[in-house]
Structure 1
């Protein structure tokens, strides 16, 4: 088989895995108001459908990271996709709300493997600079599709109700499973196999530069997920945005990130990474001011709220592209575990914050805005220390 064709199909399969991991969330959220009415749920229990999914993800991710470092990427991804498919069937077999919760838990457990391990296939095969360029491309393509996901999800809900979204996820899981089975190569098992225990994670937590980097990367994802998780209730239930138009507001943010990532991917090899990271921190400062302003004003305009979030989305582009591959390569023999720690911490914090946001939510952006502003401030502070960390900046130049 042609080598270029094989590499192309591997990249397409990785994109499909990333899309499944992202759309498992974005495709589903437009059906929140209908689910709330169908099962007679409070906002807290609607958000529990996300939190139980995150818990399933976190339950399996530490096993996934260690198993992938021990046995290779492909068999663990295949097992995860099978679990995801079973969970999707449970979500459709909803004799009661409990079945839906079980299905969402299994979906979270299953999607952990492709979410954590997809980029590691690239990290195993390419040097750091090439990884960063491919990361920009993958971010762009994935977020362009993610921009369409809430729009698609809104129309699926409109015409096929909430069950239609789970049928779509089931079909995506089956398709991704087939592509992985055919095109992802089996990785040679390492000669030295570390024991499957939590002790394998200790060196990660003992590395101060790596933990600083992981902390920043984790915090950087949280504000967006708070917004995505709460926006269906805020926009459709309290701001009067129709189901058919809701997806455009949420999708616009992902589209901006996608176009910015693709553009940065074209110029990344000619950029001074340290200067670009400093530019991102300045953008985060602007973002903090925008969110703080509309929070104080308690804006009830969906367009104004969406525009206020755009500087934060733009600020994410450079750190996400540059720093994520550095974190994975900082401990080359523990890539799976490092990825697991980052994904796990991100989802645990996101789940807790979503539950807090659901608990304090009173029909306006104000409580959501306070939480987002606090996290943007923490993101800016941690990025400042990342830029000042000599070990991280030296490593990014040497690899």
Structure 2
């Protein structure tokens, strides 16, 4: 551990886990309500789907802005500010009367959610190092990985008793709870980075030139591309192609989410972070081949579900290890580095999600997963032999 903090390890774990999952949760929680939003605002499906896109853009770009701010002014002030901004933008979404204003406030929501994603990694890097940092990230990733998967399922359940406003009211309540929880957080950054506003952009240059950092960032980006491809394609594959009910699909979705958690926890049993990553990447490639084979050969839904579950277990091993190994050498600028890491992850989502819907979804999904898996292996092998 680098510094002492007045907060307990359990408090830090719970707080960081909640704020890191908050951004992805905000993005996906209302997905089941998209058709209802289309009717409410009297607009096209495309315009309603655009509310998801602008939120992801806000999550990506917001991290590039908030990361440097947290390096300069500490973690707590920008975290509180981002939560206040989220609360205000959520209220604005609730009272929106047209799709144009709703899009604007969804974008602001995304920027606000980015604060938790980027600052959570920075707090962990401030407080821990080495194997302890990797172990913390393994637990953090198990929570963060579950958020975008469980969020639509929980949103669908909530819609059984309320409408889209109920979903956003729930988000508002969660935001208020997080704000109250954050007030008790003691600053983790002991030595702020003294960069002027004009030098903020320049501060990214040495980080982007750090080959060690960027290889792990790119590896995680590719894995997140697979994650978002799975999220975008799985409803159509399970419900339309295999004819599962929405309830059965939700059960499969939840089981696979547990796979990510299991993979993240598995990394804590490896003596070295690099060994856990190597095992995860190798398994990720093998399971990608298995997923593609089951999708393209017309295998049963049980075979596809088993292959996807194993793929997500391997994904759960890669996410925390790449995060820890990427941030370790750039901890003095962890806010900037975390911003790059988060930006690339959501950029991957913005690119891969629509690509999964091109042509035959079974084929495009298989191709995207295979390309990302092979590229991840090449990146990590190159690093190990460099």
Above 0.5 in TM-score? yes
In 1: Cα distance, 2:53 partner to 2:207 partner: 26
Q: Which secondary structure state, in structure 2, belongs to the residue aligned with residue 190 of structure 1?
A: coil
Structure 2 match to 1:258 = 261
Instruction: Report the CA distance between 1:67 and its aligned residue.
Output: 0.9
After superposing the two structures, state which structure 1 stretch, 333-342 or 184-193, moved more: 184-193
Q: Which secondary structure state, in structure 2, belongs to the residue aligned with residue 124 of structure 1?
A: helix
Instruction: Report the CA distance between 1:129 and its aligned residue.
Output: 1.6
Structure 2 match to 1:280 = 280
Is 1:295–1:370's contact at 8 Å kept on the other side of the alignment?
no
In 1: Cα distance, 2:359 partner to 2:173 partner: 34
* Unpaired stretches in structure 2, ≥5 consecutive residues: none
After superposing the two structures, state which structure 1 stretch, 61-70 or 283-292, moved more: 283-292
Structure 2 match to 1:210 = 213
Instruction: Report the CA distance between 1:5 and its aligned residue.
Output: 6.4
Cα separation, partners in 2 of 1:211 and 1:280, compared to 1, 3 Å: same
In 2: Cα distance, 1:19 partner to 1:320 partner: 14
In 2: Cα distance, 1:163 partner to 1:28 partner: 10
* Unpaired stretches in structure 1, ≥5 consecutive residues: 390-399
Cα separation, partners in 2 of 1:191 and 1:206, compared to 1, 3 Å: closer
Q: Which secondary structure state, in structure 2, belongs to the residue aligned with residue 276 of structure 1?
A: helix
Output the TM-score relative to the length of structure 2. Answer: 0.87
Instruction: Report the CA distance between 1:22 and its aligned residue.
Output: 3.3
Cα separation, partners in 2 of 1:52 and 1:376, compared to 1, 3 Å: same
Instruction: Report the CA distance between 1:277 and its aligned residue.
Output: 2.9
In 2: Cα distance, 1:11 partner to 1:276 partner: 21
Structure 1 match to 2:318 = 319
Q: 1:247 aligns with which of 228, 234, 250?
A: 250
In 2: Cα distance, 1:354 partner to 1:103 partner: 22
- Equivalent positions of 1:1-399 (< 5 A) are 6-35=8-37, 44-143=46-145, 148-185=150-187, 187-188=189-190, 190=192, 192-195=194-197, 196-236=199-239, 239-265=242-268, 267-268=269-270, 271-297=271-297, 303-358=302-357, 360=358, 364-389=361-386
In 1: Cα distance, 2:74 partner to 2:354 partner: 35
Cα separation, partners in 2 of 1:98 and 1:305, compared to 1, 3 Å: farther
After superposing the two structures, state which structure 1 stretch, 68-77 or 86-95, moved more: 86-95
Is 1:30–1:243's contact at 8 Å kept on the other side of the alignment?
no
Q: Deviations over 1:269-305 (max 9, x none)?
A: xx24444333223212212212321342366x65544
Q: Deviations over 1:254-283 (max 9, x none)?
A: 111113323432x23xx2444433322321
Instruction: Report the CA distance between 1:107 and its aligned residue.
Output: 1.3
Instruction: Report the CA distance between 1:309 and its aligned residue.
Output: 1.8
Cα separation, partners in 2 of 1:99 and 1:305, compared to 1, 3 Å: farther
Instruction: Report the CA distance between 1:205 and its aligned residue.
Output: 1.8
Output the TM-score relative to the length of structure 1. Answer: 0.85
RMSD: 2.8
Is 1:64–1:76's contact at 8 Å kept on the other side of the alignment?
yes
In 1: Cα distance, 2:231 partner to 2:364 partner: 14
Cα separation, partners in 2 of 1:62 and 1:19, compared to 1, 3 Å: closer
